[in-house]
């Protein structure tokens, strides 16, 4: 009787043990499945942080450069997450890299702008020539302290009229609707070597008059726009860390500043953290037709692009701008600046969001002439200084009739 009860109890215990074992196994299988499926789902197009992630062996120059950076910044070799004072190149990274011509298979047949880009791809510094006297506190007429919204406008030295039209319209600095707005223009050098007339004297006058120019020494070319982005982020990290929001735009965009402020007023702390709004393009890849402006040869880059926002204009939080600065150190410079920003966002695991009313690829011809359309939009690319002057009163005076 006692033995039968013992045996029944032992059988009961064995059954419980089997059930527990099966549960543990099921949990383990579930975990493995989750790991496997997540790693195959986010099969990254641009290398992300960890160096042990499977990496297609690439012969393209940018990809190899990125592989090198991933290795250098890998948490195993550099647990502090920084290289400290260790230089990435044996020589000054801003002199032409002599190894490039032998490392890029078709270097000699590449367009000149690519050769220039590749030779100086590791350069991330440039001397500041003109900086705003009040830092990011605004130009001569602006307020004090950190702005609520910083309008950072990529411009070129000869574009005097575009800058003035922006000052008189959407970039009018000061206090707008109780919020401080500051406008700064980002410039490089327009040198005689690129057949520019002597404009630096006039630019100096403009800086004295408005105090809203930020100019570096580097050659301002299309492929150096990424360098301009990086230099701006570096300056932002040093001089403007407390700005709440940044709108980065070209000098030929229309921005509905009141609408931007309205949009920002509705955000909470969590939405602000990862705020990156623009005209988002996903699933793009490099153009391989040498005739196109955005052509990138296979010898330079292989793969497709992460989601990115059209560079004509996007809106982000100051907090995210600081994280972008940190991420940019770990991403090799890419010749197309908006794609580069997308690559840095991907490093951070932040997805750019599609913003309603961002038209960085212009407007339909049918809508262009209609000022009322602009009232409901946030940002439109491709406006001349005169168009800005004509449109602005319609945005400022809601009383005007719009059918």
Ligand X SMILES: *[C@@H]1O[C@H](CO)[C@@H](O)[C@H](O)[C@H]1NC(C)=O
- With respect to ligand X, which residue has the nearer C-beta, 156 or 391? 156
Q: Which tokens go with 378?
A: 């946030």
The tally of CA atoms less than 13 A away on the side-chain side of residue 330 is 26
Distance between CA 111 and CA 126 in Å, rounded?
24
Q: Are 283 and 309 contacting, i.e. CB atoms less than 8 angstroms apart? A: no
Shortest Å, Cβ 112 to ligand X: 9
- With respect to ligand X, which residue has the nearer C-beta, 60 or 281? 60
- With respect to ligand X, which residue has the nearer C-beta, 223 or 276? 223
Shortest Å, Cβ 67 to ligand X: 22
Helix axes 337-348, 225-239, angle to 10 degrees: 50
The tally of CA atoms less than 13 A away on the side-chain side of residue 245 is 25
Shortest Å, Cβ 91 to ligand X: 12
- Choose among 37, 36, 51, 65: nearest CA to 302: 65
Distance between CA 14 and CA 8 in Å, rounded?
10
Shortest Å, Cβ 297 to ligand X: 14
- With respect to ligand X, which residue has the nearer C-beta, 255 or 333? 333
- With respect to ligand X, which residue has the nearer C-beta, 74 or 272? 74
Long-range Cβ contacts of 200-209 (<8 Å, 24+ apart): 200/157, 202/160, 203/130, 203/157, 204/130, 206/160, 206/163, 207/130, 209/140
- With respect to ligand X, which residue has the nearer C-beta, 301 or 374? 301
Shortest Å, Cβ 221 to ligand X: 4
Q: Are 131 and 240 contacting, i.e. CB atoms less than 8 angstroms apart? A: no
- With respect to ligand X, which residue has the nearer C-beta, 122 or 248? 122
Q: How many CB atoms lie within 10 A of CB 197?
A: 9
Q: Are 359 and 310 contacting, i.e. CB atoms less than 8 angstroms apart? A: no
Shortest Å, Cβ 189 to ligand X: 7
Output phi, psi for 251, to 5 deg: -85, 10
Q: Which tokens go with 159?
A: 């574009």
Shortest Å, Cβ 176 to ligand X: 35
- Choose among 153, 324, 323, 341: nearest CA to 254: 153
Shortest Å, Cβ 75 to ligand X: 11
Per DSSP (E only), the strands in 204-293 are 213-219, 245-250, 253-255, 276-278, 280-281
Shortest Å, Cβ 318 to ligand X: 26
Q: Which residues sit at the interface with ligand X, rule CB under 6 A?
A: 79-80, 85, 113, 116-117, 120, 218-219, 221, 223-224, 227
- With respect to ligand X, which residue has the nearer C-beta, 227 or 379? 227
Q: Percentage helix, strand, coil, to 5, in the chain?
A: 40, 15, 45
**3-class SS at 255?**
strand
- With respect to ligand X, which residue has the nearer C-beta, 231 or 379? 231
- With respect to ligand X, which residue has the nearer C-beta, 120 or 159? 120
Shortest Å, Cβ 234 to ligand X: 15
């Amino acid at each position: 009787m006692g033995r039968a009860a013992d045996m029944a109890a032992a059988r009961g215990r064995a059954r419980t043990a089997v059930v527990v074992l099966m549960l543990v196994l099921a949990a383990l299988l579930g975990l493995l499945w989750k790991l496997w499926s997540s790693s195959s789902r986010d099969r990254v197009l641009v290398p992300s942080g960890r160096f042990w992630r499977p990496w297609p062996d690439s012969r393209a120059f940018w990809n190899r450069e990125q592989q090198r950076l991933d290795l250098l910044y890998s948490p195993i070799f550099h647990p502090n997450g920084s290289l400290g004072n260790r230089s990435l190149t044996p020589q000054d990274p801003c002199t032409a890299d002599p190894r490039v011509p032998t490392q890029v298979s078709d270097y000699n047949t590449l367009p000149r702008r690519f050769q220039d880009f590749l030779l100086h791809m590791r350069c991330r510094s440039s001397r500041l020539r003109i900086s705003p006297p009040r830092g990011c506190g605004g130009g001569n007429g602006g307020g004090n302290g950190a702005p609520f919204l910083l309008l950072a406008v990529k411009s070129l030295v000869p574009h005097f009229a575009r800058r003035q039209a922006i000052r008189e319209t959407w970039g009018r600095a000061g206090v707008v609707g109780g919020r401080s707005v500051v406008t700064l223009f980002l410039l490089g050098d327009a040198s005689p070597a690129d057949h520019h007339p002597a404009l630096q004297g006039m630019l100096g006058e403009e800086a004295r008059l408005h105090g809203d120019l930020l100019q570096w020494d580097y050659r301002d070319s299309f492929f150096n726009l990424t360098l301009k982005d990086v230099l701006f982020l570096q300056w932002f990290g040093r001089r403007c860390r407390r700005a709440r929001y940044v709108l980065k735009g070209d000098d030929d965009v229309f921005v509905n500043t009141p609408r931007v402020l309205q949009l920002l007023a509705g955000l909470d702390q969590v939405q602000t953290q990862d705020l990156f709004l623009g005209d988002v393009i996903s699933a793009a890849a490099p153009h391989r037709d040498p005739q196109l402006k955005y052509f990138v040869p296979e010898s330079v880059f292989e793969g497709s692009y992460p989601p990115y926002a059209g560079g004509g204009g996007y809106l982000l939080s100051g907090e995210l701008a600081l994280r972008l600065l940190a991420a940019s150190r770990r991403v090799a410079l890419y010749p197309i600046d908006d794609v580069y920003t997308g690559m840095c966002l991907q490093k951070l695991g932040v997805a750019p969001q599609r913003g309603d009313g961002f038209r960085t690829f212009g407007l339909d011809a049918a809508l262009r002439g209609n000022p009322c359309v602009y009232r409901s939009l946030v940002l439109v690319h491709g406006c001349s200084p005169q168009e800005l002057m004509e449109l602005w009163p319609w945005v400022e005076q809601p009383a005007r009739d719009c059918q």
